[in-house]
Amino acid sequence: MALSLIFLLFFIFTTTIPTTLSNPIFFTTKTYQSLIQTKSPTPKITYKTQFFPQHLDHFTFQPKSSNIFYQKYLINSQYWDEGPQHRAPIFVYTGNEGDIEWFASNTGFMLDVAPKFQALLVFIEHRFYGESLPFGKDSSKSAETLGYLNSQQALADFAVLIRSLKHNLSAEASPVVVLGGSYGGMLAAWFRLKYPHIAVGALASSAPILQFDDITPWTSFYDAVSKDFKDASLNCFNVIKGSWDELQAVPTQKEGLLELGRTFRACKDLQSIYSVRDWLWSAFVYTAMVNYPTQANFMMPLPAYPVEEMCKIIDGFPQEANKLTKVFSAASLYYNYSSTEKCFDIENGTSAHGLNGWDWQACTEMVMPMSCSNEGMFPPSTFNYKDFSDQCIKKYGVTPRPHWITTEFGGDRIEQVLERFGSNIIFSSGMKDPWSRGSVLKNISASVVALVTQRGAHHLDLRFATKEDPDWLIEQRRQEVEIIQRWIDEYHSGYK
Amino acid sequence: MALSLIFLLFFIFTTTIPTTLSNPIFFTTKTYQSLIQTKSPTPKITYKTQFFPQHLDHFTFQPKSSNIFYQKYLINSQYWDEGPQHRAPIFVYTGNEGDIEWFASNTGFMLDVAPKFQALLVFIEHRFYGESLPFGKDSSKSAETLGYLNSQQALADFAVLIRSLKHNLSAEASPVVVLGGSYGGMLAAWFRLKYPHIAVGALASSAPILQFDDITPWTSFYDAVSKDFKDASLNCFNVIKGSWDELQAVPTQKEGLLELGRTFRACKDLQSIYSVRDWLWSAFVYTAMVNYPTQANFMMPLPAYPVEEMCKIIDGFPQEANKLTKVFSAASLYYNYSSTEKCFDIENGTSAHGLNGWDWQACTEMVMPMSCSNEGMFPPSTFNYKDFSDQCIKKYGVTPRPHWITTEFGGDRIEQVLERFGSNIIFSSGMKDPWSRGSVLKNISASVVALVTQRGAHHLDLRFATKEDPDWLIEQRRQEVEIIQRWIDEYHSGYK
């Protein structure tokens, strides 16, 4: 199951690749699938799997009482013991766009801290992902079914499930803390804002809740990726920046593509230069996201600080060498760190997945405009809402609602709004992660705080602790534990 | 138009009349309609009427872009002038279950204070009421259409409309304060909780947000009505309390009903004693709700302190007189204060309205359990969820979700939850109003406060000021203005 997860997660990124080089790659998914199918991590799950009967639509009441689906969740009560009697806390991961096992296996933080808190651990799968499919295998078949896939329905799912679970465990008096990373972090933060009566606090890791409308500059994401590479090596940055023109100059006749295919060790003859561009693009962006300080296997197996490693590869070539050769070698670190690939399936003709969930969400509510500036290492581009909208209409028949998320959840002037409203949210970020730019990076109030590390990457803090963890990461997690402990203590002291 | 409003509002009450005397009157509406059609107040509107294209479903994305309806709102900019330049505030009434003109004409407070604040005034009509009918005259025809009628969709309507309005007026920097009474007050409070980025504060008048689940004792509503009468006169209370047995003892053969009809000056022969019971019941409950300190015409034209006036009527009879004669005379104050009725249309055979909005809301989300204690003046009864649910299934095919409102909006342990979360809400109540018992009656934090008057009634503070207003009412409104001014000042001081 986990194979499809990264594929899904990928859409966070792919839907925002600017449509450059005159060939829109928006919605092109073919390049990446085969890689995912061979490289996904094996989840280590120590959870019991449960299913919960959930309302298909929380916000429209329909006569058919049969409109329920079974939502998957994982539960671990090994440290909970007599939790209800002690009002011990419940930590809930607000699942995002993928199989819940995958998030559980990449959110070791919860298992690491559970003994200290004697916490019950729960991971709730997001509707329309993993096995939580309201219409079974037809769930993503059409807009008619996908209509029920959105963040507000997901938050309501969490609320209903948590309330029911507490009731069934006689744990009504136990405080709930929600945690999540990436889109799951956005959901955790929004859940605390919308359901403060259910969660006493939220740890929102790498949660770009400000990546909407024009709150965050549209160029910031790719500028941040570029900065990661520039910080590692100016030469590396310049090589990548120059490589796109070299790629563009490849003759598109058969001979040119054949030669390009040889350079990139393509398993099959290439049909287009754009698949190579996408292949490179993804390697750089994902590597920046998972530029972890230790060896890890989130998207792909990678060494510690993989951006630096990529740049060492590029810098190791003679200055005069072909730029495409250099970037191919760098990208190979991402795609083939374990040296198991004899060739790369750069163009994968068809997607076995059909329509998918995140694509739908991006075409309806999750409109995150992005563009590439002249200063970055990617080809300059702008975000054209009209083109974006046209493609969504063409694909699903839906018109995006680009201002809906900020209407429903806010974001504009968030400091001013949350300075006097709300409490108990940690926004944790690592500045190496390009998504950090759309997150909350400064303390807003005494209890709505930002924990930012300069060298951290995409929800690094939520990963299992390792012996190699640097001090700044240990300190970030220590602060998180301290703050969560404070929420729980406050809850208990105010319990009447 | 206003004629149907009271009818609709009535359901707040009628759906909660306990099913006593072995004849369920749940959903019986026939008794009251004719009265409403002859006695409704004439709205005095100084507003411009507008219509806004609104999404039918904010929480399910469907391909059809035509799924919009036109939502009515009223706007008054006479004190606004150069409001956008001055960042002058916008006061928004969050419309409840009826024509928006009716609420505008009974919420003179906003017009009264507008000059001081140079405020723009907006009254937004609630979907499925008044002229804001998504399916035109078929809007209430079936559960299929009514499915889109609920509080969450209504709140989202307000959010989208306000945002669009501010944009169109170039008034993005103007703070918005929401105000509402009764269900509209619940919506105002919930709006501040769910959309703090859109409203800087809420004045929630007579808003029984705690009338759900078992947060508020189920007997409290009718006990409060009873207390109003007992406070006025113990004899009055005892007469009413004893009258139900006298009514129950009326022989149900033709002669008995004929005699009863004569006692109650029925225009047509009575078919059942229960219509008389409902007629009396409503008179006592509504009079308690609108037990205003000045002459008023909200539900019906009534003198100042009408409960006291009713009791004077009852107490004016010789002790030995028939109780039914006494309560008939008392109820006549409610139904015929203006002395225009020659007879009473106690049984009105058919409802011209068919299904209606509040009925639907009560059968889906607005489940407010109520019962009558032995200590009150009404026949003792219990709330039976099974019976209630069965009737909803029979009528609409829907099963109520009795815990949904508290899942979505909270309520349980509200002091603890909001002590550290949220800000800027005034819960105003008058203890003569039976709905006060389900509202927030104590300060929760420095800025989530309760303004309670002992002699106030249902959203009295929102009414136009009059020369006869007692000092405690003047003081309540003065505090409201002061607090709202503080919200606006804080907003401006924090504006960057």
User: pLDDT by residue (tens digit) across B327-384?
Assistant: 999 999 999 999 999 999 998 743 433 448 899 999 999 999 999 999 999 999 999 9
Bridge-based pairing state of the strands A296-297 and A176-181: unpaired
Mean pLDDT of chain A: 89
- What token pair was written down for A376? 């970055």
pLDDT at residue B181, as a whole number:
97
**Residue B302 to chain A, least CA–CA distance (Å):** 39
- Cα–Cα distance between A220 and A228 in angstroms, integer? 12
Cα R_g (chain A), whole angstroms: 22
**Residue A133 to chain B, least CA–CA distance (Å):** 16
**Residue A192 to chain B, least CA–CA distance (Å):** 10
pLDDT for B14 beyond 60: no
* Of A350, A341, A347, residue with least CA distance to A269: A347
Cα R_g (chain B), whole angstroms: 22
* Of B145, B11, B155, B167, residue with least CA distance to B69: B145
Kindly tell me the burial class for residue B442, based on how many C-beta atoms sit within 10 Å of its own C-beta (0-12, 13-18, 19 or more).
exposed
Give the orientation angle of helix A323-336 with respect to helix A254-263, to 10 degrees. 50
**Residue-wise pLDDT tens digits, A100-148:** 999 999 999 999 999 999 999 999 999 999 999 999 999 988 888 999 9
Mutate which of A55, A58, A59, A442 to disrupt the B interface (most B C-beta within 10 Å)? A59
Residues from chain B contacting residue A58 (CB–CB below 8 Å): 59, 152, 404, 408
- Cα–Cα distance between B363 and B368 in angstroms, integer? 10
**Residue-wise pLDDT tens digits, A324-349:** 999 999 999 999 999 999 999 998 74
pLDDT at residue A141, as a whole number:
86
- What token pair was written down for B43? 């709205």
The verdict on whether A458 is a catalytic residue reads yes
Residue indicated by tokens 């009697």: A85
pLDDT for B161 beyond 60: yes
Return the minimum-mean-pLDDT range out of A9-13, B88-92, B152-156, B370-374.
A9-13
Q: Please, which pLDDT band fits residue B44 given cuts at 50, 70 and 90? A: low
Judge contact between A149 and A128, C-beta under 8 A. Answer: yes
Does CATH number 3.40.50.1820 belong to domain A48-213+405-493? yes
pLDDT for A298 beyond 90: no
* DSSP at A436: G
- What token pair was written down for A261? 């295919």
pLDDT at residue A142, as a whole number:
87
Count the helices and strands in chain B (H runs, E runs).
Answer: 19, 10
Mean pLDDT value of segment A75-104: 92
Beta partners for residue B180, in sequence order: B204
Chain B nearest-CA residue for A401 = B61
pLDDT at residue A252, as a whole number:
78
pLDDT for A361 beyond 90: yes
pLDDT at residue B10, as a whole number:
35
Does A148 contact B at CB distance below 8 Å?
Answer: yes
Beta partners for residue B72, in sequence order: B51
Does A154 contact B at CB distance below 8 Å?
Answer: no
Return the amino acid letter for A445: S
* Of B258, B68, B295, B55, residue with least CA distance to B156: B55
Judge contact between B392 and B398, C-beta under 8 A. Answer: yes
Mutate which of B52, B59, B214 to disrupt the A interface (most A C-beta within 10 Å)? B59
Yes or no, beta carbons of B153 and A60 under 8 Å apart: yes
- Cα–Cα distance between B104 and B125 in angstroms, integer? 10
Q: Please, which pLDDT band fits residue A261 given cuts at 50, 70 and 90? A: very high
Residues from chain B contacting residue A63 (CB–CB below 8 Å): 143-144, 147, 396-398
**Residue B474 to chain A, least CA–CA distance (Å):** 29
CATH number of B48-214+405-494: 3.40.50.1820
**At a CB cut-off of 8 Å and minimum separation 6, what does B199 contact?**
B92, B162, B176, B177, B178, B191, B192
Mean pLDDT value of segment A270-282: 93
* DSSP at B266: B
**Residue-wise pLDDT tens digits, A144-186:** 899 999 999 999 999 999 999 999 999 999 999 999 999 999 9
**At a CB cut-off of 8 Å and minimum separation 6, what does A406 contact?**
A212, A213, A215, A412, B197
Yes or no, beta carbons of B150 and A416 under 8 Å apart: no
pLDDT at residue B86, as a whole number:
86
Judge contact between A43 and A105, C-beta under 8 A. Answer: yes
**Phi and psi at residue A45, to the nearest 5°:** -105, 130
Chain B nearest-CA residue for A420 = B423
Mutate which of A52, A54, A60, A145 to disrupt the B interface (most B C-beta within 10 Å)? A60
CA distances from A297 to A460, A461, A474, B239 (A): 12, 15, 20, 80
Yes or no, beta carbons of A150 and B63 under 8 Å apart: no
pLDDT for B42 beyond 50: no
Bridge-based pairing state of the strands B448-453 and B425-430: parallel
**Residue B123 to chain A, least CA–CA distance (Å):** 19
- Cα–Cα distance between A61 and A75 in angstroms, integer? 30
- What token pair was written down for A445? 């109030």
Q: Please, which pLDDT band fits residue B39 given cuts at 50, 70 and 90? A: very low
Yes or no, beta carbons of B410 and A195 under 8 Å apart: yes
pLDDT at residue B62, as a whole number:
80
- Return the exposure string of A252-277: e unless at least 16 CB atoms fall within 10 Å of the residue's CB, then b: eeeeebeebbebbebeeebebbbbbb
Beta partners for residue A90, in sequence order: A120, A176
**Residue-wise pLDDT tens digits, B480-496:** 999 999 999 999 998 77
Yes or no, beta carbons of B59 and A57 under 8 Å apart: yes
Mean pLDDT value of segment B106-119: 96
Q: Please, which pLDDT band fits residue B46 given cuts at 50, 70 and 90? A: confident
Three-state SS for A450? strand
Return the percentage of chain A with pLDDT > 90, whole number. 81
Yes or no, beta carbons of B410 and A153 under 8 Å apart: no
Judge contact between B88 and B120, C-beta under 8 A. Answer: yes
Return the percentage of chain A with pLDDT > 70, whole number. 89
Three-state SS for A220? helix
Q: Please, which pLDDT band fits residue B298 given cuts at 50, 70 and 90? A: confident
pLDDT for B36 beyond 70: no
> Would you tell me which residues 420-439 of chain A have a C-beta closer than 8 angstroms to some C-beta of chain B?
420-424
Does B417 contact A at CB distance below 8 Å?
Answer: yes
Q: Which member of B63, B364, B490 has the closest CB to residue A420?
A: B490
Return the amino acid letter for A342: K
ipTM, 2 decimals?
0.91
pLDDT at residue A46, as a whole number:
85
The dihedral through the CA atoms of A228, A232, A238, A244 has a sign that is: negative
H/E stretch holding B455 reads: none
pLDDT for A384 beyond 80: yes
Q: Which member of A147, A163, A408 has the closest CB to residue B62?
A: A147
**At a CB cut-off of 8 Å and minimum separation 6, what does A384 contact?**
A19
Residues from chain B contacting residue A159 (CB–CB below 8 Å): 407-408
Three-state SS for B363? helix
Does B147 contact A at CB distance below 8 Å?
Answer: yes
Residues from chain A contacting residue B486 (CB–CB below 8 Å): none
Mean pLDDT of chain B: 89
Judge contact between B107 and B477, C-beta under 8 A. Answer: no
- Cα–Cα distance between B330 and A192 in angstroms, integer? 51
Does A59 contact B at CB distance below 8 Å?
Answer: yes
**Phi and psi at residue A140, to the nearest 5°:** -105, 20
- Cα–Cα distance between A410 and A188 in angstroms, integer? 15
- Cα–Cα distance between A284 and A305 in angstroms, integer? 13
Yes or no, beta carbons of B419 and A58 under 8 Å apart: no
Yes or no, beta carbons of A417 and B197 under 8 Å apart: yes
Yes or no, beta carbons of A196 and B62 under 8 Å apart: no
**Residue-wise pLDDT tens digits, B197-244:** 999 999 999 999 999 999 999 999 999 999 999 999 999 999 999 999
Quick one: residue A458, left, alpha or beta (phi over 0 = left, psi -120 to 50 = alpha)? beta
Return the amino acid letter for A388: F
Yes or no, beta carbons of B59 and A401 under 8 Å apart: no
Which of these is catalytic: A40, A132, A174, A182?
Answer: A182
- Cα–Cα distance between A413 and A193 in angstroms, integer? 15
HSE at residue B470, side-chain half, CA atoms within 13 A, is: 14
pLDDT at residue A86, as a whole number:
86
Three-state SS for A448? strand
Judge contact between A59 and B150, C-beta under 8 A. Answer: yes
* Of A494, A379, A414, A34, residue with least CA distance to A215: A414
Q: Which member of B150, B196, B407 has the closest CB to residue A421?
A: B196
Count the helices and strands in chain A (H runs, E runs).
Answer: 19, 10
Return the amino acid letter for B305: Y
The verdict on whether A182 is a catalytic residue reads yes
Catalytic annotation, residues of B: 182, 433, 458
Judge contact between A458 and A486, C-beta under 8 A. Answer: no
Between these two residues, A365 and A64, which has the higher pLDDT value? A365
**Residue-wise pLDDT tens digits, A6-47:** 333 333 334 334 432 322 222 222 222 222 333 344 445 589
Judge contact between B124 and B158, C-beta under 8 A. Answer: yes
Residues from chain A contacting residue B65 (CB–CB below 8 Å): 398-399
Judge contact between B399 and B329, C-beta under 8 A. Answer: no
Return the amino acid letter for A280: L
Length of chain B: 496
Yes or no, beta carbons of B496 and A416 under 8 Å apart: yes
Q: Whole-model pTM?
A: 0.92
Beta partners for residue B266, in sequence order: B344
